Structure 1
């Protein structure tokens, strides 16, 4: 098979879509990503189909909804035989190189009980060639690099504690102990550039995953205080936390599950004062700018080495981040801020479409089928996502989806979650589905909990109108849409295969 060219697939962890287009865009400097957006096709209604990190990446890389791959929590195993971007790219003749992490929990059925793979969810997905390990809780190559540079630390997590330049008590936006040229983001970029250089002319595939701006929120100078906290907007939401809780029983546990104090290291407590919240948001934006700087280095390398026009370049995020919106932190929520992510794709030979924006609903499960489509590799029927190639070329298929769908599992079998304890839900019904069409967002629960309905022609996410009789017909219609969506997207691994006298035959899903 003649291969198409290079593929560079970049995931930025926890980058909100509105950093590039929306509420935070005016407050953060991302010159390289914005310049890339002028050369790529952007998708402004792009959503993660599930959260948090492990499940989200399982969906992105397998092209499957969580309801099918069922790796629904960090630490929930992914079946060993699920096709993914790495296994399928190998069929196309590519070596799938991983720079970073995939947060994959291994299938215990095919490993010895004593295998260290079964003691962490941060392992690489099957099929990947791990060039450098950069897992948040491990990052041993980066640790070794810091030691070589003369940094001393007794505990790995000390690296994530701000350090006062004057020796005083540290502040939230004091710098990290390491310099910018030695940060985890810089190290990963340096390693990628040095390792990928020899592959020029070989049609390579690389999956590059940046942990930042994922917490702990600590940044090296000058990114730690690049943005004036006082100049940043306060998070959106209802003024009083009790009003947020009153919207639905789910939100009380959501607000309590993660707080501002969980996003920093080295502080006994962090009160959610306006000053503290804005300061933490400023560090988050600084980390995003740091990632932008290093992505700029990579784009320049591709241009300088005459590989830019031969490389399919995809830039996205695994999920969003509440960042104090709705009095919440993290991504275990139902609001758009936790799921709405940027997606920019530059397709070789598609320069005429550079700078265009696609508003058709797209989902994180569409990325893998798109890459496979571009290299000419067949897309397994097990994949629920669809190739974005027609949309990239300015053609929207008549049968393209009119909504996006996401899921969230808020259970923990070994240690019940706050939601389970407060809502009285079990391991199998502590989950929800989210359907977003052009006007509404519907949230339905597996447990006996009332639905949530947001009308974006009204007050949007500030008001739950599910109990308003005026919306009864919309609630019923959207509920049927969600049911039909789940029925149409049940596991297709073998459902279109037939055994005949001539042998096994299969029809393509799309």
Structure 2
């Protein structure tokens, strides 16, 4: 067999960590992900450093905090010269194969004004070789597949509306227009499996990105009603939306912006009854099970083709999902459910660590440095993350992080957001930083808004203790820690270099 060193990097869109391990895990069947975890190393305190989709993937693939790459919204350009996993893997001789999407907004300085790349935030990141275009708002190959298979729809978004099997008015959890064998998840998996056999004689790097269980929440049979809504738990929440809004001024615009109706097509007046919320949660879990089934096909292909034991497999999600928790939907918030994501890594030759669980904090910016480290490629100083390879040997790196740092921009320079309307903030100060350690979560705002502080040994995220007299020393300490974190992690692209009489000299920031 060819002595290849392959990398398969899988990102599942909007999968909560607790679906794989945690509160929701007992309600959803994910046999392939859990079997893979038994054969790999799982990281149970892994967090996205920024939301939503475009920014989170910008951070994952560049290894940078959002405060450095500044592609902070879906539609905010990423600088064209930012090193990323694709540009750096090319330096090691890998062709970066993209099956799916990176949600990258292109730098307008690098394109003519009328270039289609400047008309959508969903174009591929520089350096990737797009094998299958699979984007939520475009997906032309999948649309063509559906048309060629005889499916009828007037406009693309009609594809995401549930269809009654009897021809009557559709219910929330009626099946999708398409059969399971023709779903977006099946189509992308088939594309990967149909393409990769010819690459087995060389070292390859493939980035496989699944849209599901990202909304719109519609699933093909049998995944649409795989889980009985009445058997699912209600979301974690205070007694009312008004109680949630009273916790902090940030939450009223959030609850107004994203509601249950925005997560499904064809039900614009959907009421957020307990029954409807449970039904939407059941569809979400069904979509997660569908992704699990197809990831199982991918893993089985690697085993059957003899490539499983020479392939580094990194499996994660770009961010989480509130799913009705705290009367909220989506990921534009401050709570763990929106940032806490699953991470499972299997590296060849590390079988002694199979099934191990890492409890140290890790961040989404650590994934690209880990992959580069494994292939032997130098990690650029622009990357803020650190390699996780020592954990795969059962070792904790020296001076490892004791918290996860995340950011969120909730403003817009073109169209005012609900936060800008309600809070009077601007695009410059409509942002927050979030720091999560063993005991506390601290949230600080750029605008003149009070902080949030959650004590996870007491009331947790259900109680803001920032104003409590007993917590003032903790608040001050954590605020200083957040400031120091930002100061130490400012852009280091050239900061570790010096021009000398002998020319430019650069020191690695993490050595």
Over residues 403-438 of structure 1, what are the superposed CA-to-partner deviations in whole Å (9 max), with x where a residue is unaligned? 110000001111010001101111110000001111
Residues 4 and 202 in structure 2, CA contact (< 8 A), matched pair in contact too? no
Aligned to 2:395: 395
- Counterparts of 1:101 and 1:297, CA distance in 2: 20
Deviations 1:91-116 (A, max 9, x none): 00000000000000000011110111
Q: Secondary structure at the match of 2:202?
A: coil
The separation in 1 between residues aligned to 2:157 and 2:41, in whole angstroms, is 39
Deviation at 1:133, TM superposition (A): 0.2
| Residue number in structure 2 paired with 1:435 | 435
Which residue of the partner structure matches residue 220 of structure 2?
A: 220
Query: What SS class does the counterpart of residue 246 from structure 1 fall into?
Result: helix
Match of 1:363 in 2: 363
CA distance in 2, matches of 1:415, 1:408: 17
Secondary structure of 2:316's counterpart equals strand
- Give deviations 1:422-473, integer Å, cap 9, x for gaps: 0111111000000111100000000000000000010100000000010000
Structure 2 counterpart of 1:137: 137
Give yes or no for contact 1:3–1:93 (8 Å, CA) kept in 2: no
1:14-29 equivalent positions in 2, closer than 5 A:
14-29=14-29
The separation in 2 between residues aligned to 1:121 and 1:219, in whole angstroms, is 25
Tell me the distance in 1 between the aligned counterparts of 2:456 and 2:279.
30
Q: Distance in 2 between matches of 1:187 and 1:487?
A: 45
Answering whether residue 260 of structure 2 is matched by residue 260 of structure 1, we say yes
| Cα RMSD for the two superposed structures | 0.9
* Off by >6 Å, runs of 4+ in structure 1: none
- In 1, the alpha carbon distance for the partners of 2:40 and 2:270 equals 40
Partner of 2:158: 158
TM-superposed deviation, 1:390:
0.8
Q: How far does residue 398 in structure 1 lie from its aligned partner after superposition?
A: 2.4
Q: Secondary structure at the match of 1:34?
A: helix
Q: Is the 8 A contact 1:3 1:92 kept in 2?
A: no
Q: For residues 160-309 of structure 1, what are the structure 2 equivalents within 5 Å?
A: 160-309=160-309
Unmatched 5+ residue regions in structure 1? none
2: CA distance, partners of 1:268 / 1:56:
28
| Greater Cα offset, 143-152 or 366-375 | 143-152
**Other-structure match for 2:453:** 453
Matching residue of 2:417 = 417
Offset at 1:152? Answer: 1.6
CA apart distance, 1:239: 1.3
In the superposition, the TM-score normalised over structure 1's length comes to 0.99
Give the superposition deviation at 1:151.
1.0
Verify the 8 A CA contact 1:431 1:445 in the aligned structure 2: yes
Per-residue deviation, 1:3 = 8.9
Alpha-carbon separation, structure 2, partners of 1:116 and 1:212: 26
Distance in 2, Cα, partners of 1:380 & 1:394: 25
Partner SS for 2:483: helix
Report the 3-state secondary structure (helix = DSSP H, G, I; strand = E; otherwise coil) of the residue aligned with 2:494. coil
Aligned length: 509
Q: How far is 1:255 from its partner?
A: 1.0
Partner of residue 468, structure 2: 468
Deviation at 1:268, TM superposition (A): 3.0
